[in-house]
Amino acid sequence: MKILVTGAAGFVASHVADAYGSAGHDVVIVDDLSRGAEKNVNPKARFYRCDIRDREAIEKIFLLEKPAVVNHHAAQMDVRRGVREPVFDAQVNILGSLNLMEAALAHGTKRFIYIASAGAGYGEPKQTLVPEDYPINPITPYGISKHTVEHYLFTFHFLYRLEYVVLRYGNVYGPRQSSQGEAGVFAIFSEQMLAGIQPVIYGDGSKVRDYVYISDVVAANVAALERGSNEIFNISTCVETTDLEVFQLVRDLLGKQVEPKYVARRPGEIDRICLDISKAARLLGWMPTVSLAEGARRTVNYFREMATATKSASVAG
């Protein structure tokens, strides 16, 4: 099957593209490299360096490739940039997505897998476990733009029968994550500790997040090729973890003696979120399999190897 994956020079979608390619699918990648890196692009995929806001270029790619499935991960995902530049945020996340959806309709795409954000959509939830039908109350422009596309998908299905699956991720972590990302604390703490920099915790370390390891997220994207049509799914682990717990986990794995520097909390950050993932289990046949301890071990090993490789390269150079 031909699958067009957007954002696959970045963290999550590069792993998704790798998995689709390994499963024998014909993978086409669209990414403007604004944040991703070319080294993450699967070498067997056809790569188009293209901004999803460029309607004409997107139209040409679809005309040429006619993908059966679109898996749309590309996004302006810097929450603070979205606050500063809400128009830019909407142009990439809403209008860019619409360009892809219109091209998909025009060129016979059957299925559109869209990646949304659970953490940015539900706002500050008033209950412990948050299911998919919990009221949407974004507290940032990024939360609004990511969620808005879900409405377009519902409507495009209603009007034109374009099939969709929405995956709302919790906080994804793992190899290739950028320390500049939406939820990159594993990457940030690892890189800083390895560089001898004292990591900063915004607030008192008690903020709770729901982390999911990259290979489990990839498995959800594989399941979404066949199942879950016209449904929305939370994809996470339903395990509450505080910022301080992540800090301590990374510190212990690296064997460092460092304390966090506590600074004032940033606006737009919620206190606590934990996702109800029972719908994905029921309809996608998906369950997370990697524990936080195991995921943290793999992630920290990756960042340790990256730091060693960078050090050897600079010595050799």
Ligand X SMILES: NC(=O)c1ccc[n+]([C@@H]2O[C@H](COP(=O)([O-])OP(=O)(O)OC[C@H]3O[C@@H](n4cnc5c(N)ncnc54)[C@H](O)[C@@H]3O)[C@@H](O)[C@H]2O)c1
Q: Would you tell me which residues interact with ligand X (CB under 6 A)?
A: 7, 9-13, 31-36, 51-53, 73-77, 92, 96, 115, 117, 146, 169, 171-172, 178, 181-183
* Active-site choice (20, 114, 134, 142): 142
Residue 54 vs 231, nearer CB to ligand X: 54
Beta strands 208-213 and 240-242 are: antiparallel
Residue 111 vs 146, nearer CB to ligand X: 146
Residue 146 vs 279, nearer CB to ligand X: 146
Burial class (CB in 10 A: 0-12, 13-18, 19+), 151: exposed
* 27 touches 44 (CB < 8 A): yes
**Cβ of residue 217: shortest distance to ligand X, in angstroms?**
8
* Tally of CA atoms within 13 A in the half-sphere of 236 that contains its CB: 25
**Cβ of residue 274: shortest distance to ligand X, in angstroms?**
15
- Measured between alpha carbons, how far is 181 from 179 in angstroms, rounded to an integer? 6
**Cβ of residue 308: shortest distance to ligand X, in angstroms?**
22
**Cβ of residue 317: shortest distance to ligand X, in angstroms?**
26
Q: Is 66 left (phi over 0), alpha (psi -120 to 50) or beta?
A: left
48 is catalytic: no
**Cβ of residue 50: shortest distance to ligand X, in angstroms?**
6
**Cβ of residue 175: shortest distance to ligand X, in angstroms?**
12
Q: Which residues contact 280 (CB under 8 A, 6 or more apart)?
A: 220, 228, 233, 234, 235, 286, 287
- Measured between alpha carbons, how far is 103 from 225 in angstroms, rounded to an integer? 19
Residue 46 vs 256, nearer CB to ligand X: 46
Residue 102 vs 258, nearer CB to ligand X: 102
Residue 11 vs 156, nearer CB to ligand X: 11
**Residues with catalytic annotation?**
142
